[in-house]
Amino acid sequence: MFRRLSASQLTADLVVALVFWLLSFVGRFQGDLWSDLAALTLVTAGLAVRRLCPGVALGLAWLACVVQMVAHGTAPSSVDVAVLPVLYATGRYGGRVLRWLGLGSAVLGAVIAAVYLVVLPSRGFTDGASALSFLITLFGLLAVLCLSWTLGLLARVYRRAQDSRQAQRTAERDAALEHERNRIARDMHDVVAHSLAVVIAQADGARYARQNDPDAVDAALGTIAGTAREALAEVRVLLGQLRHSQGEAPQPALADLGRLLDQLTAAGLEIDRSERGTAAPLAAGQQLALYRIAQEALTNALRHGAAGRAHLGFDWEPDRVILTVSNRAAERAGNPDGHGVAGMTERAMLAGGSLEAGRVGTDWVVIATLPIGPLRTGADA
């Protein structure tokens, strides 16, 4: 079975094999030893395709060993070093059957090599010393050959563990983002429902008052137009990016920040609040986004901050509002790619703005920038 490799990987394997063949040929072959040359070529070919097809590489390595030992009784040599990366490849890239064949090849090869190196030259076990020499040689060869196979297996397990952890992190992040989208959809649902209720009430009132109070009709129509524009922009955001959720939780606004700050202060977090510029009216969805971002950032300051103190600032500019939350970061602050930052970023984007979070010196700083005015989508641009 052939594995898919990149062009750079194939080139690297071929270059390594060619260099090995040249070094082995120059360093060893001086006469007309065609059997050794054939064995060298076969084991080099196995070295070249060890990652492309580990099964073929193992077969070529075995064929090289057979040619080397059968032709003229040639004993194992330094050329057989190329067998080590082939065994590594069977453990690293081979399937279940091939991995066991690789381990069996390592054991059988160690036994055969020990016989060629110790038993045949001494014509058997002539005394205890030759038997001990055989055992030492056998265990040494087993350690080297099986170690190569084991390293390949460990590399395989490590790679799979990395892939599993990455897949788990991706799944957790996707689940957190989906949960955050559903929660935002629930929050936005209440805002839109409220806007439509206002529109219906104003329309009904204008219909009944048009005979007696024409001015009331004009006022009602103005209220309907403003409320409908805001609701339409939020509905477009929902249709484009969120799932509908039938939540009925009350929706906090910037006016509710005081109660939130009191709760965090009672929990032990000292909060310095500052405000620069003149506050401008914001859409309900934008107020909700600012409230939730401030809530998450201040909660993280309470949980992970080092000094028990945080700063909350609002900078009101003509076309945008900038929310800044900063606190002294602990030595081991929370994961900057964690779910909290992902959720705050999602809220800011859905409200038409952006968010940045990270270390600035010794502080952890969250900066959310939202435009002032109705929410805008791509259809409005």
Considering the domain architecture, whether residues 142 and 282 belong to the same structural domain is answered as: no
pLDDT of 249: 45
Number of domains in the chain: 3
- Out of 241, 267, 295, a domain closes at 241
Contacts for 168-172: CB closer than 8 Å, 24+ residues apart: 172/339
Q: pTM higher than 0.75 for the full model? A: no
Q: Are residues 259 and 224 in the same domain?
A: no
How far, in Å, CA of 56 to CA of 49, rounded? 7
| Structure token pair of residue 124 | 């058997």
Q: Are residues 125 and 96 in the same domain?
A: yes
What average pLDDT does the segment 345-352 reach? 85
Band of the pLDDT at 71, cuts 50, 70, 90?
A: low
**Res 120: pLDDT:** 72
In a domain, 106, yes or no: yes
Look at residues 165, 196, 228 and tell me which one is the last residue of a structural domain. Answer: 165
CA distance 292 to 309: 19
When comparing pLDDT for 338 and 27, which is higher? Answer: 27
CATH of the domain at 317: 3.30.565.10
> Does residue 246 lie within any of the structural domains?
no
Specify whether 192 is located in the same domain as 335.
Answer: no
200 or 336, greater pLDDT? 200
Q: Tell me, what's the pLDDT at 273?
A: 93
| Residue 91 located in a structural domain | yes
What tokens were used for 26? Answer: 């120059």
Per cent of the chain over pLDDT 70 is 75
Q: 258 and 154, same structural domain?
A: no
Any domain includes 381: no
pLDDT tens digit sequence for 300-345: 887 777 777 899 999 999 999 999 999 988 765 555 455 678 878 8
Decide: 44 and 21 in contact? Cβ < 8 Å: yes
Q: Name the residue among 28, 141, 34, 145 with its Cα closest to residue 84.
A: 145
Tell which of 165, 185, 209 closes a domain. Answer: 165
Say whether both 210 and 297 belong to one domain.
no
Q: Write the CA distances from 17 to 46, 49, 67, 93, 258, integer angstroms.
A: 9, 9, 19, 18, 72
Sign of CA dihedral 171, 176, 181, 182: positive
Q: Is residue 230 part of a domain?
A: yes
Residue 128 pLDDT more than 60?
A: yes
| Residues 161 and 181 occupy one common structural domain | no
Question: Is it the case that residue 121 has pLDDT exceeding 90?
Answer: no
What was the pLDDT predicted at 72?
A: 56
Same domain, 125 and 15: yes
Domain residues for the domain of 133 are: 7-165
Task: Please indicate, yes or no, whether residues 52 and 184 belong to a single structural domain of this protein.
Answer: no
Q: How confident is the model at residue 377 (pLDDT cuts 50, 70, 90)?
A: very low
Same structural domain for residues 28 and 131? yes
Are 201 and 284 in the same domain? no
Strand partners, 370: 321
Tell me, yes or no, whether 48 lies in a domain. Answer: yes
Q: How far apart are the first and last CA of the chain?
A: 54
Quote the pLDDT of residue 381. 36
Domain annotation covers residue 170: no
pLDDT at res. 90: 92
**Per-position DSSP letters for 39-94, written without gaps between them:** HHHHHHHHHHTTTT-HHHHHHHHHHHHHHHHHGGGPPP-GGGGGHHHHHHHHHHH-
Kindly report the CATH number assigned to the domain that includes residue 196: 1.20.5
Residue 249 belongs to a domain: no
Position with higher pLDDT, 119 vs 318: 318
60 and 204, same domain (yes or no): no
Q: Are 227 and 195 in contact (CB under 8 A)?
A: yes
pLDDT at 267 over 60: yes
